[in-house]
Amino acid sequence: MKIEKIELRQVQVPLKAPFETSFGRMDKKDCVIVSVHSDGMIGYGESVAFSAPFYNEETTETIWYMLEHYLIPAVVGREVTNPEEISGVLAPIRRNHMAIAAIETAVWDLYAKQNGISLAHALGGKKQEIEVGVSIGIEPTIELVVQNVERFLEQGYKRIKVKIKPGFDIHLVEAIRKRFGEDVPLMVDANSAYTLQDVHILKELDNYNLMMIEQPLAHDDIIEHAELQRELRTPVCLDESIHTLADARHAIDLGSCRIMNIKIGRVGGLTNARKIHDLCMQRGISVWCGGMLELGIGRLHNIALSSLSNFAIPGDVSASKRFWEQDIVDPGIEMIRPGVLAVPNNAGIGHEVREQSLEQLTTRKLTRHA
Ligand SMILES: O=C(O)CCC(=O)c1ccccc1C(=O)O
Ligand SMILES: [Mg+2]
């Protein structure tokens, strides 16, 4: 297929409720929707960086800049036989993985649509449905988080993740265990808020039968995480520290984690995400699909990826109503049973994009023809 046209739209959508992590509070999604056009069909991608560089170094502005000046020029007009070519074409560009993923995922969607197959099928995914978990933000009080845990358990989520930060950790986990018992699949995510000086706190978390502790130490570290993992019974899971297949291999070799969170944006697209999945499978490391407060397009890419067999742990792949009053895809993503989402069978991402509401949400637009 020849990429005839690429369009960018920046959209801003308010979250139903603010979401707080150890690095800050977010109240809206500000992202770039990429559409790639060929032969009357449209493939969609959605950027996952935030407005400010506190999760990683990218922002919505840097994504737009990279797409406009480097990524679209490299892809528009190109004859693409297989979407795996795109990460190769863009490989000379250093980092900027979320910008690359925004366009790469759009080409994957277009390719699947051109071939009349689902994106999951195009990736080699076999699962028809996936079990899902939910990520719950920091609140002003422990009781408010406990109430959110209760609400999401009632909705059937199969795994509860709570965000922690120094001073909002042990008592929170203790309160959740006390209220809901030892059997609730529970984990914590620190988003790099601790250092090895805090090892006593992290060791205390070892007493609560957590599924894992996600990214406790620095965003760019795999050395100290290995040291920490040796001290803990609870598996360490890496998120921020893994950007490439080589990072994943090094982390496994060093023993920096026993579980890996794969985010399509963080690793530069679906092709790399699948490679990391395959490596982890060979090396006996379980993986799960992370989330970045995605709208429906990003969410559907995550669902398709999660259909691969080594996504053995329910990911942060929640239903549309977790964050949005109304999603930009039609129908919105809903559970088919408590805690279970269907992997769409329709071509590509499998749901329609509500072009009209997208247009209303658009704050900036750019079109490039071959
Ligand atoms: O439901 C989601 O999209 C996952 C939310 C989440 O945990 C998260 C949200 C924003 C930034 C980082 C993270 C994370 O996984 O670390
Ligand atoms: Mg995380």
Report the CATH number at residue 88: 3.30.390.10
- 269, 301: one domain: yes
- 15, 147: one domain: no
Which domain, by its residues, includes 89? Answer: 5-116+353-369
Is residue 239 lining ligand 1, measured as CB closer than 6 Å? yes
**Taking a C-beta distance cutoff of 8 angstroms, is the pair 276, 245 a contact?**
yes
Whole-angstrom distance, CA of residue 72 vs CA of residue 93:
13
Whole-angstrom distance, CA of residue 333 vs CA of residue 331:
6
Is residue 21 lining ligand 1, measured as CB closer than 6 Å? yes
Q: Count how many domains the chain has.
A: 2
- 155, 293: one domain: yes
- 321, 361: one domain: no
Is residue 192 lining ligand 1, measured as CB closer than 6 Å? no
* Eight-class DSSP state of 248: H
- 142, 73: one domain: no
Is residue 46 lining ligand 1, measured as CB closer than 6 Å? no
Atom of ligand 1 at shortest range from CA of 134: 1
For 34, counting Cβ atoms within 10 Å of its Cβ (0-12 exposed, 13-18 middle, 19+ buried), the class is: buried
Q: Which residue has the tokens 């914590």?
A: 188
- 63, 176: one domain: no
Q: Binding site annotation covers 316?
A: no
Residues with C-beta atoms within 5 A of ion ligand 2 = 189, 214, 239
Whole-angstrom distance, CA of residue 243 vs CA of residue 276:
10
Whether 347 maps to a domain, the answer reads no
Q: Binding site annotation covers 189?
A: yes
Whole-angstrom distance, CA of residue 60 vs CA of residue 98:
9
Entry pTM = 0.98
Q: Binding site annotation covers 221?
A: no
- 183, 291: one domain: yes
Kindly report the CATH number assigned to the domain that includes residue 166.
3.20.20.120
Sheet holding 236-238, edge to edge: 134-136, 160-163, 186-189, 213-214, 236-238, 259-262, 286-289
Neighbours of 276 (CB within 10 A): 23
Can you tell me the ipTM of this complex?
0.99
Residue type, 282: Q
Whether 313 maps to a domain, the answer reads yes
Which residue out of 46, 135, 322 has the highest number of ligand 1 atoms within 8 Å of its CB and is therefore the one to mutate?
135
- 146, 81: one domain: no
Whether 131 maps to a domain, the answer reads yes
Q: Residue 331: what pLDDT?
A: 97
Could you list the pLDDT tens digit for every one of the 370 residues in the chain? 999 999 999 999 999 999 999 999 999 999 999 999 999 999 999 999 999 999 999 999 999 999 999 999 999 999 999 999 999 999 999 999 999 999 999 999 999 999 999 999 999 999 999 999 999 999 999 999 999 999 999 999 999 999 999 999 999 999 999 999 999 999 999 999 999 999 999 999 999 999 999 999 999 999 999 999 999 999 999 999 999 999 999 999 999 999 999 999 999 999 999 999 999 999 999 999 999 999 999 999 999 999 999 999 999 999 999 999 999 999 999 999 999 999 999 999 999 999 999 999 999 999 999 9
- 306, 163: one domain: yes
Residues with catalytic function: 163, 263
**Cα 135 to averaged position of ligand 2 atoms, centre (Å):** 9
**Cα 189 to averaged position of ligand 2 atoms, centre (Å):** 6
Is residue 191 lining ligand 1, measured as CB closer than 6 Å? yes
